[in-house]
Amino acid sequence: MKKANLGSRAFDVINVVIMLFILVVVLYPILNIIATSLSGTKYISSGSVTIWPKGFNLEAYATVFKDQYIFKGYLNSIIYAVGSTGIMLLFTALLAYPLTIPGLAGKKFVTIFLMITMFFGGGLIPTYLLMRNLHLLDTIWVMIIPGAISTYNVFLFRTFFLNIPAELKDSAYIDGANDLVVLFKIILPLSKALFATFALFGLVGSWNGWFEALIYLRDQDKYPLQMVLRNYLFTLDTTAIQGRVGSGSVAINAPGEALDPKAVRMSVIVITMFPIMCIYPFFQKHFTKGVFVGSIKG
């Protein structure tokens, strides 16, 4: 018993050390970015900023918020994230639920067809041509509709739905309910953990996405926030005199000294990641349950 207790304590200590190490590895870059965005130019240039601001300065944020594309990017990212996530959850549930109905005609064919799409894809060029032929290029719908269905999500949803007791559905059928009523009145309310988990996945994935906007969008007024961030990272020069975002100029001069472009970049990164950091705590309690229950049958 003493050996078991000693081994258990050693295991706990090792776990704590590993978790602390991971915590430091994850937190240090974030704290460094925040500290750099709030520091003075001479401290940033000398490389003396670590996890605490030096020469506290909000000029970088004041400069960034003068850029109209920041606010447009925020609005566009919210529309794309909420729209694509909502459509993804709805259509995934509508496709996954029929695959749980015993004896449904064509269920095997649909399952095999979905599995094929997991291993073979059309590629970027055919997808671009499809978006062009559907007249979706340079519209908000090209950022929302293409991600409506993911085969991986469909199979996880199906497995989760299969774990819901069949007696609940049978009693609803006896009371005269049809499949849509069963889905929206019984299945979905019992799947809150699953929906919260994949809502988080969808929101984070859409919020962090920029490649689709780079390929499909030309109008800068439709750019998501990540594209604005990309433009900041690629267009601010090292002279710290003036930067450009799209077609709008952003002066980056601080009183008495040139504002370091690194501070501007870091401030945009902080502004970009702040909303996602805020929503994580609200979904965290559902995260583990939604992933594990949705991936294991029985």
- Judged by average pLDDT, the poorest of 5-9, 122-126, 187-191, 213-217 is 5-9
Q: Which two tokens stand for residue 232?
A: 């900041």
- Cβ-based neighbour number of residue 146 at 10 Å: 16
192-220 pLDDT, tens digit each: 888 888 988 899 899 998 999 999 999 98
Domains (range + CATH), the chain? 60-298 (1.10.3720.10)
Q: Which two tokens stand for residue 2?
A: 């003493």
263-294 pLDDT, tens digit each: 888 999 999 888 888 877 776 666 655 555 54
Residue 154 has pLDDT above 90, yes or no: yes
Q: How far apart are CA 230 and CA 214, in angstroms?
A: 10
Return the SS3 of 248. strand
Closest CA to 209 of 229, 194, 233: 229
97-153 pLDDT, tens digit each: 999 888 888 888 999 999 898 888 888 899 999 999 999 999 999 999 998 888 989
Q: How far apart are CA 21 and CA 107, in angstroms?
A: 48
